[in-house]
């Protein structure tokens, strides 16, 4: 999809490593998976790669578009879009009580909006 050269560039810019850069949150163990992220400016990445900043930015935009296009062809994972009424209820009660106790109408309005949402 990207080719060897573009894949290497993307890996450098987005900090992809062979051993993975993601650690399990609960245990701190490395998972072997990578999460694409920037730790350097485009200028810094361009310097590390020995290329022009504008050229690298254009190239990365092309890479990004190709990756997004490939992702659009994949089956989307399930979406957990349930509304947790118990947690929302606690938050609504806290906002309403705090708004009344502190004389803060914005808290009460936030409670009203949250109530309308659920």
Q: What is the mean pLDDT of the chain?
A: 93
List, for residues 19-72, the tens digit of each pLDDT value. Answer: 999 999 889 899 999 999 999 999 999 999 999 999 999 999 999 999 999 999
* 116 backbone φψ class: left, alpha, beta (φ>0; ψ -120 to 50): alpha
- The CA distance from 73 to 65, in Å, is 13
Which sequence spans correspond to the domains of the chain?
4-72, 85-117
pLDDT at 113 over 80: yes
- The CA distance from 93 to 101, in Å, is 12
List, for residues 70-109, the tens digit of each pLDDT value. Answer: 999 999 888 887 778 888 899 999 999 999 999 999 999 9
* Model confidence, pTM: 0.61
Q: How far is CA 111 from CA 46, 82, 92, 101, in A?
A: 48, 19, 5, 14
């Amino acid at each position: 999809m990207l080719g060897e050269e573009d894949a290497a560039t993307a890996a450098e810019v987005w900090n992809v490593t062979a051993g993975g850069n993601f650690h399990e949150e609960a245990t701190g163990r490395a998972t072997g998976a990578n999460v694409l992220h920037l730790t350097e400016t485009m200028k810094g990445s361009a310097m590390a790669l020995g290329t022009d900043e504008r050229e690298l930015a254009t190239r990365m935009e092309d890479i990004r578009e190709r990756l997004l296009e490939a992702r659009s062809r994949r089956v989307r994972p399930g979406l957990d879009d349930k509304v947790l009424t118990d947690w929302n209820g606690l938050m609504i009660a806290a906002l309403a009580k705090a708004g009344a106790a502190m004389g803060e109408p914005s808290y009460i309005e936030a409670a009203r909006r949250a109530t309308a949402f659920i």
